[in-house]
Copies of this chain bind each other. A is one copy, B any other.
Amino acid sequence: MSTTIRTTATGTGTSMAPVVPTTGALTPLGLDEVGITEGFWADRQRVNGTATLAHVEHWLEREGWIRNFDLAAAGTLPEGRRGREFADSEVYKYLEAVAWEIGRRGGDDALESRFRSVVDRVAAAQESDGYLNTRFGRPGQGARWSDLEWGHELYCLGHLFQAAVARARTSPGADDGLLGIATRAADLICEVFGADGIQSVCGHAEVEVGLAELSRVTGESRYLDLASLFVERRGHGVLQDIEWGRAYFQDDLPIRDAEALRGHAVRANYLAAGATDIAVEHGDTGLLDALRGQWDRTIARRTYLTGGQGSHHQDEAFGEDFELPSDRAYSETCAGIASIMFSWRLLLEDRDVRYADHIERVLYNVVATSPSAAGTAFFYANTLHQRTPGESSPDDEVSPRASSSERAPWFDVSCCPPNVARTLASLAAFIATTDDHGVQIHQFASATIDTVVGGEHGGRFRAELVTEYPRTGVVSLRIVEAPTQALTVSLRVPSWADDARLVVQTASGSRDEHEVPTGYADVTRAFSAGDVVELSFSIRPRVTHPDPRVDAIRGTVAIERGPEVYCVESVDLPGGDESLARVEIDAHADIEEASDGRLTVVLRTRPVVDAAWPYADGFDAPGDADPFTASIAPYHSWAERGPSTMRVWIPTTRS
């Protein structure tokens, strides 16, 4: 447990940020307060805004998922409805992404017009009592709420609420009507699922987090109360049992009794995020402690090196402790995003650096891995070991979720592309926070910060964050304007940065330099324009070993550098695809830094007897395994050069 400085300093429900608690250690900053200007994430935000959003809208139209709303409005459903039961939610996630993007850009007429056009089509499908779903409730369709296990009605509404919240925060007072659509739907479910209503929950958690934020935006406590009812009901076997067990939708154990996240990894993290919102708002320390414990155990025993979560293809679920197979890693993109949602809420509440460290790990190694460089193809699953190249995905075909070595433009279950889009569009909100005493920098990107700090006696704080991270380990915060009172500026020192130094260079010429441990490095002083706080640490490559209980990767190491996990890809090996299965690394050999973030390592291709039976008293083939140097690249950049094989964990050379 961290030592948290609990304050009452928080934002308002209309801050331009995805999560705005009314209490907690830290106050989030909105997209109007932090803007990413250049570098790793700015590049991705630009691609997201210029290519991904249009790509997502194109596919939503092409697959008929927006048109489902038109059919609902025309009264012609169910005939012609396309997509899975949760197709509505992808439209809402797209709207949420566009809302953040409009906020990020500070307005964009063309985007605004596209946004309104989709909202109008959604609005037309809402029924007079507030019900909104294209899959249920009409003649020829299942009755409303008749399939809570798999119907995803409340799940879809959760995403509607998040979209409406994003819109309300980025374009307060806009007359498009999305917030009204959301509150009418929320009012309906308060009646239907309230204390005297249906005593059950949705098979896919999400409405909880949507209701909590909708409550924060509107001030309507009934929404939070309903979210709380949903959280407390789940875990008592209120849903039907299924082959994989009720753990799949976290209905196996009350949330206060569980020791780790389990079951479907997206469901588990969305639920935990929603429960954190409720615990924070209610000051429910028992629930918060349970959630912190679940986070700890999940990170310590059920998370991949990349920060990815979910070991099973079968049920997209967490495995047991230390069950983290590399070559069947599911590590769904959405699970990574959901894990950020959970972690960010705990960070705002606790100011514990471990949450920020994990968010960084997931951002660089899951969120950045999913989309292609062009922003128009995506990984749904993010394996850590690709054994066969697979076939090239045609650019214009819907793909199965997790079969190829290449990214696909769209999926039958296409939750990941719009989820990536909304995350990247709102990413600036995860860079920095404030509290009564100052400003905290959690993620490193060149950015501008313009906010108010120091409580009622404080004032405007403007600064420029400058860094080439993750290519270098130097992060400078240049103060542009600060209130006269003393402030504390805190910069995160990542968990692996064991040689970090902090330099404070004032405009007046004074210079102070000292070593700083991992955690948050604090500088308290009365800042003036021109003062610079510079954090620096080396980003030398690291050789990482697994806990011996992670059986699937025994005898291997991974290479990390800064926040980035690296991988060996067959296109960089002289022996190509097949040789990847026999490659070994000398874990003690030097690793050299090459250009553009690549590293040069010493590998060997082990000669192996190709036996008729793969179990014997030995497999060493005659012949030498001559060392050679190979270039390796960050994991997030793999699979951009045609079908290939790849591995993150590299067997070590036997000495």
A interface residues with partner B (beta carbon < 8 Å): 243-245, 296, 299-301, 303, 305, 312-314, 319-328, 354, 385, 387-388, 400-401, 403, 412, 495, 542-556, 558, 581-582, 606, 608, 610-619, 651
Contacts and interface: CB of A to CB of B under 8 A. Distances in A.
Contacts of A323: 327-328, 387
Contacts of A303: 614
Contacts of A547: 608, 611, 614-616, 619
Contacts of A611: 300, 547
Contacts of A314: 312-314
Given A400-B243, A551-B326, A608-B548, A321 B619 contact: no
A322 B608 contact: no
Contacts of A244: 400, 403
- The 7 nearest A-B residue pairs measured at CB: A547-B614, A555-B555, A314-B314, A554-B555, A313-B314, A320-B387, A549-B581
Contacts of A325: 325, 327-328, 552
A403 to B, nearest CB: 7
Contacts of A385: 551
A49 to B, nearest CB: 32
Which has the most chain B C-beta neighbours within 10 Å: A313, A543, A546, A614? A614
Contact of A617 (B313, B545, B615): B545
Given A244-B403, A245-B400, A549-B608, 12 more contacts: A300-B611, A300-B614, A313-B313, A313-B314, A319-B328, A323-B328, A325-B552, A547-B614, A548-B651, A554-B554, A554-B651, A555-B555
A558 B328 contact: no
B400 A581 contact: no
Number of copies: 2
Contact of A619 (B401, B542, B543, B545): B545
A614 B552 contact: no
A614 B322 contact: yes
24 contacts: A245-B400, A300-B612, A305-B615, A313-B314, A321-B387, A321-B388, A322-B387, A323-B327, A324-B614, A325-B327, A327-B552, A354-B612, A544-B616, A544-B617, A545-B615, A545-B618, A546-B615, A547-B614, A547-B616, A547-B619, A548-B651, A551-B552, A551-B553, A551-B651
Q: Is the interface of A mostly helix, strand, loop or mixed?
A: loop
Contact of A554 (B321, B400, B556): B556
A319 B403 CA distance: 12
Contacts of A412: 243
A265 to B, nearest CB: 15
Nearest to A324: B614
Contacts of A549: 581-582, 608, 614
A520 B59 CA distance: 63
Contacts of A326: 551
Nearest to A297: B612
A582 B322 CA distance: 12
A617 B543 CA distance: 7
Contacts of A613: 299-300, 495
A146 to B, nearest CB: 21
Contacts of A544: 615-617
A440 to B, nearest CB: 21
A547 B516 CA distance: 47
A195 to B, nearest CB: 33
Contacts of A354: 612
Contacts of A617: 542-545
A556 B401 CA distance: 33
A616 B545 contact: yes
Nearest to A313: B314
A588 to B, nearest CB: 12
A317 to B, nearest CB: 10
Contacts of A554: 553-556, 651
A303 B613 CA distance: 9
Contact of A243 (B245, B324, B401, B612): B401
Nearest to A620: B548
Contacts of A553: 551, 554
A410 to B, nearest CB: 14
Which has the most chain B C-beta neighbours within 10 Å: A305, A615, A619? A615
Nearest to A614: B547
A619 B546 CA distance: 8
A400 B651 CA distance: 36
Nearest to A330: B314
A581 B552 CA distance: 12
A400 B247 CA distance: 13
Contacts of A615: 305, 544-547, 558
Nearest to A581: B549
Nearest to A388: B320
Contact of A550 (B324, B328, B614): B614
Nearest to A316: B314
Contacts of A300: 610-614
A113 to B, nearest CB: 37
Contacts of A618: 545
Nearest to A301: B614
Contacts of A327: 323, 325, 551-552
Which has the most chain B C-beta neighbours within 10 Å: A305, A314, A412? A314
Contacts of A558: 615
A115 to B, nearest CB: 33
